[in-house]
């Protein structure tokens, strides 16, 4: 790393490009502050030569002070010194160096070159020491503004970004763990209910029972695979159709399904097994309670603002409350999975004497094609 970068505190622990930007910024502040100190004297002076010499000497003082203070700062950082120790050592070094420069200028250069004295009474040793201390504090403040403040501000920004990144990763891990737990609860729940649906056919129609067991094997292969949590809606619907075949066969003559799926929404990504609990509820608590035959209708369409609207509707007798069986695992799992995966998604229940409707409203902008490209 170039020698000039030693002026920058903490330069060795940062990318060289960033250290160079901090060096340019710091030197610009130092030069500008030195010029601002020179302007009042230049306007009052009859000759500019003494002003230029004093300004050059002051600028040299600031450069030497910058190297010393940056080195002291880095040394304290490596030692893990406290902020108080770093501050006291920096002020002591600034006072010592600036007092030495002021004393050299007042007691040596002014005597060797009388034209540098300018107007005013001769300077005493006490005045020289006091003035040197004040100049040291001033230059230390300029150094802190030029180099330490940007370093601390950048470090704080990076720490905040890292903390946000860690927080987001922790939330993602927590959400993934809860999603996995919900899915691990849902799959045995679905398996038990499906086996119960098949059990009645074992003695009534063994051939049909064997066919449905094979169909169940296909369902289990898809539902228990280690695929992503999200899948295209058309895969979800294909899975539901096989599930519906088992239910229709088990309740032959008393249950049928209607499917109204718009082609535009087939590639939209949805959580796996999202609609299965809603279909199960529509069958068990709705359609099978309708005398003369129950109907379950599954719809999917693109709503306003590119939002996917999935509806599972039955023609059952309806429920007394708009939110049936609040403690049911199926509805609770659907709500929680939506909250974890799509915070702005909604699950609404509408119930009347003509039936019950479950409506899932979630963002429809993410598709399987976009997922493959990303």
Question: For residues 320 and 287, is the Cβ–Cβ distance under 8 A?
Answer: no
Question: For residues 300 and 309, is the Cβ–Cβ distance under 8 A?
Answer: yes
pLDDT number for residue 366? 64
Question: In terms of DSSP bridges, do strands 255-261 and 230-232 run parallel, antiparallel, or are they unpaired?
Answer: unpaired
Positive or negative, the CA dihedral 263, 267, 273, 278 is negative
Secondary structure of residue 45 in the 3-state scheme: coil
**Lowest mean pLDDT across 214-218, 259-263, 298-302, 303-307:** 214-218
**Residue ranges covered by each domain of the chain:** 3-166, 200-373
- Own/partner pairs for 2-11, CB < 8 Å, 24+ apart? 6/67, 6/70, 6/71, 7/63, 7/66, 7/67, 7/70, 7/147, 8/70, 8/147, 8/151, 9/70, 9/73, 9/74, 9/77, 9/147, 9/148, 9/151, 10/73, 10/74, 10/77, 10/151, 10/155
Residue found under tokens 């230390």: 140
Tell me the per-residue pLDDT of 216-275, one tens digit each, with 9 for 90 and over.
Answer: 777 777 666 655 678 899 988 988 898 888 888 878 888 999 999 999 999 999 888 789
Tell me the per-residue pLDDT of 151-198, one tens digit each, with 9 for 90 and over.
Answer: 777 778 878 888 788 777 776 666 666 656 655 555 666 677 667 767
pLDDT number for residue 183? 58
Tell me the per-residue pLDDT of 323-372, one tens digit each, with 9 for 90 and over.
Answer: 544 445 678 778 887 887 888 889 998 888 888 999 999 987 666 545 54
Measuring CA to CA, how many Å separate 256 from each of 15, 34, 241, 274?
A: 67, 88, 11, 21
d(CA 235, CA 229): 12
* Phi/psi at 249 (5° precision): -70, -40
DSSP 8-state symbol, 230: E
Tell me the per-residue pLDDT of 5-43, one tens digit each, with 9 for 90 and over.
Answer: 666 666 666 666 666 776 777 777 777 777 776 666 666
Question: In terms of DSSP bridges, do strands 294-302 and 255-261 run parallel, antiparallel, or are they unpaired?
Answer: parallel
User: Percent helix, strand and coil across the chain, each rounded to 5?
Assistant: 70, 15, 20
**Structure token pair of residue 187:** 């799959």
Write the Ramachandran bin of 273: left for phi over 0, alpha for psi from -120 to 50, otherwise beta: left
pLDDT number for residue 234? 92
pLDDT number for residue 372? 44
Tell me the per-residue pLDDT of 130-149, one tens digit each, with 9 for 90 and over.
Answer: 878 888 888 788 777 777 77
pLDDT number for residue 369? 46
d(CA 69, CA 146): 12
Please give the model's pTM, rounded to 2 decimal places.
Answer: 0.52
Strand-pairing partners, residue 356, are: 314, 351
CATH number of 200-373: 3.30.565.10
Strand-pairing partners, residue 308, are: 302, 362
């Amino acid at each position: 790393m170039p020698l000039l970068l030693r002026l920058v505190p903490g330069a060795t622990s940062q990318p060289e490009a960033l250290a160079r930007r901090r060096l340019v910024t710091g030197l610009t502040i130092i030069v500008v502050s030195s010029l601002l100190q020179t302007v009042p004297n230049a306007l009052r002076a009859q000759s500019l030569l003494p002003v230029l010499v004093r300004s050059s000497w002051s600028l040299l003082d600031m450069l030497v002070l910058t190297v010393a203070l940056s080195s002291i700062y880095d040394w304290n950082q490596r030692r893990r010194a406290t902020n108080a120790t770093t501050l006291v050592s920096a002020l002591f070094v600034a006072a010592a160096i600036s007092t030495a420069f002021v004393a050299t200028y007042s007691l040596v250069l002014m005597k060797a070159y009388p034209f540098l004295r300018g107007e005013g009474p001769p300077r005493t040793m006490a005045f020289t020491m006091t003035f040197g201390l004040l100049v040291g504090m001033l230059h230390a403040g300029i150094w802190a503004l030029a180099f330490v403040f940007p370093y601390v501000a950048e470090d704080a920004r990076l720490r905040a970004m890292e903390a946000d990144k860690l927080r987001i990763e922790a939330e993602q891990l927590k959400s993934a763990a809860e999603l996995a737990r919900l899915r691990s609860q849902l799959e045995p729940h679905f398996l038990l209910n499906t086996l119960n649906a098949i059990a009645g056919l074992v003695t009534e129609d063994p051939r049909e029972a064997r066919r449905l067991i094979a169909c169940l094997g296909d369902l289990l292969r898809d539902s228990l695979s280690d695929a992503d949590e999200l899948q295209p809606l058309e895969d979800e619907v294909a899975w539901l159709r096989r599930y519906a075949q088992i239910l229709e066969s088990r309740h032959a003559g008393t249950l049928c399904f209607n499917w109204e799926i718009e082609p535009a929404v087939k590639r939209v990504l949805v959580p796996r097994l999202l609609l299965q609990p809603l279909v199960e509820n529509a069958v068990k608590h709705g359609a099978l309670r309708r005398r003369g035959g129950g109907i379950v209708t599954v719809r999917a369409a693109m709503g306003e603002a590119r939002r996917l609207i999935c509806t599972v509707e039955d023609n059952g007798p309806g429920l007394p409350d708009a939110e049936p069986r609040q403690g049911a695992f199926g509805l609770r799992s659907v709500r929680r999975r939506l909250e974890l995966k799509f915070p702005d998604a909604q699950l609404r229940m509408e119930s009347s004497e003509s039936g019950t409707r479950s409506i899932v409203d979630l963002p429809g902008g993410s598709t399987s094609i976009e997922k493959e490209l990303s």
